C-alpha cells in the first residue's frame, strides 16, 4: 500500500509593491523580515524615477534583495506618476489570481482605494508606512505596520569615524520614537465583549480582534515585542492564565479583566 506523504502547510504568496518616493531604504532588512511572518514574497517590485540621484540609497540594496526596479519618469513636475504605475501593476497582478495578499509599502494616502479594492477581491492587504501615514490608508488595510518599528529593530551600525563620513553627508543621530500609551481601555472592552462565561479569551483571538478594529495595532509601538508581554505588564488590569493544549501538546495563553482592576 502506498504511503501518502503529507504536504507542508502552504504558505501565502504575496506581491510586494514599494513606492520608492514614499519609503526609506533604511527599512529594507526589517521590511522583508516582517513580511516572512505573513507569507512568501513571490513578487518584489519598487517604483520610482531611477534616472535621478534621489533614489540612490535604494539602488544600493535592490540586488541584495532581488527587488525589480520599475522605471517611471516624472513627466510633470509636482505630479507623482509612480502611484499610477504601481496601481496598474497591482491590478494586473490581482487578475492573475496567483496571490493571496499584497504588501503595499508607502506613506501615501493615494493607495487607499487600491487597498480597499484588493480586499474586495478577498485578498489580504498588509500596509507599511511611516507614522505620518494618513488614517484612511491605514484603515483600508487588514494590517498596517509602521516602518519606524522596523528601523528600530534593525541592528544599528557603529558610527563612522569623522574622517570616514561621506562628503556632503553629515552623520545623523539615531532616533527612536517614544513608546505610545497602551490602549488598556480598548483591550478591556474587547475582552468583555468576546470572552466566555468566566471572562476568559484566548490571547490569539484577542489580538486578531484588536487588529480588525485598529489595523495599526502592534505591541512594539508600546515598547513590547509581543502582545503577551504587553498584557502581562498590565497586571493591575488583566489576569493571564496558561493552559495546555491536548491537540498539539503546547500551551495557550488566556486573558481576562481583573475584577476591580483600574
**pLDDT per residue of the chain (262 residues) written in tens, 0 to 9:** 444 444 445 789 999 999 999 999 999 999 999 999 999 999 999 999 998 888 999 999 999 999 999 998 765 554 466 788 999 999 999 999 999 999 999 999 999 999 999 999 999 999 999 999 999 999 999 999 999 999 754 444 444 444 444 433 333 434 456 788 999 999 999 999 999 999 999 999 999 999 999 999 999 999 999 999 999 999 999 999 998 765 566 789 999 999 876 6
Same fold across 13-155 and 184-257? no
Closest listed residue to residue 15, CA positions, set 83, 96, 120, 82 = 96
Domain boundaries along the sequence of the chain: 13-155, 184-257
Q: For domain 13-155, which architecture applies?
A: 3-Layer(aba) Sandwich (3.40)
Residue 121 CB neighbour total at 10 angstroms:
12
- Distance (Å, whole) CA 11 – CA 3: 24
Q: Where are the alpha helices (DSSP H) in the chain?
A: 28-35, 56-59, 81-94, 112-120, 135-140, 147-153, 184-194, 203-213, 227-233
Question: Cα separation of 190 and 161, whole Å?
Answer: 51
Check if the beta carbon of residue 41 is closer than 8 Å to that of residue 103.
yes
Grid cell 514599494 is found at 18
- What is the number of residues in the chain? 262
The pLDDT of residue 169 is 39
What local confidence, expressed as pLDDT, does residue 52 receive? 82
CATH fit for domain 184-257, picks 3.40.50.1390, 3.40.50.800, 3.60.21.10, 3.30.420.610: 3.30.420.610
Taking the alpha carbons of 121, 126, 130, 131 in that order, is the dihedral positive or negative? positive
What predicted TM-score, i.e. pTM, was given to this entire model? 0.81
CB 82 within 8 A of CB 70: no
Predicted pLDDT at 194: 94
Amino acid at each position: 500500500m502506498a504511503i501518502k506523504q503529507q504536504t507542508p502547510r502552504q504558505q501565502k504568496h504575496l506581491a510586494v509593491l514599494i513606492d520608492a518616493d514614499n519609503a526609506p531604504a533604511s527599512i529594507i532588512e526589517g521590511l522583508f523580515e516582517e513580511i516572512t511572518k505573513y507569507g512568501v514574497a513571490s513578487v518584489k517590485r519598487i517604483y520610482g524615477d531611477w534616472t535621478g540621484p534621489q533614489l540612490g540609497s535604494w539602488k544600493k540594496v535592490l540586488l541584495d534583495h532581488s527587488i525589480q526596479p520599475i522605471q517611471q519618469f516624472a513627466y510633470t513636475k509636482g505630479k507623482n506618476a509612480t502611484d499610477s504605475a504601481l496601481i496598474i501593476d497591482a491590478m494586473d497582478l490581482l487578475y492573475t489570481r496567483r496571490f493571496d495578499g499584497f504588501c503595499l509599502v508607502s506613506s501615501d494616502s493615494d493607495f487607499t482605494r487600491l487597498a480597499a479594492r484588493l480586499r474586495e477581491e478577498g485578498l489580504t492587504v498588509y500596509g507599511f508606512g511611516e507614522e505620518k501615514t494618513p488614517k484612511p490608508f491605514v484603515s483600508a488595510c487588514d494590517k498596517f505596520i509602521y516602518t519606524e518599528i522596523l528601523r528600530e529593530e534593525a541592528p544599528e551600525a557603529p558610527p563612522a569615524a569623522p574622517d570616514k563620513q561621506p562628503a556632503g553627508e553629515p552623520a545623523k543621530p539615531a532616533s527612536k520614537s517614544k513608546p505610545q500609551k497602551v490602549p488598556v481601555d480598548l483591550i478591556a472592552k474587547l475582552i468583555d465583549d468576546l470572552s466566555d462565561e468566566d471572562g476568559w479569551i484566548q490571547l490569539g483571538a484577542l489580538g486578531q480582534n484588536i487588529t480588525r478594529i485598529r489595523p495599526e495595532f502592534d505591541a512594539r509601538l508600546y515598547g513590547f515585542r509581543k502582545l503577551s508581554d504587553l498584557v502581562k505588564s498590565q497586571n493591575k488590569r488583566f489576569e493571564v492564565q496558561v493552559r495546555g493544549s491536548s491537540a498539539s501538546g503546547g500551551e495557550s495563553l488566556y486573558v481576562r479583566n481583573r475584577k476591580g482592576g483600574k
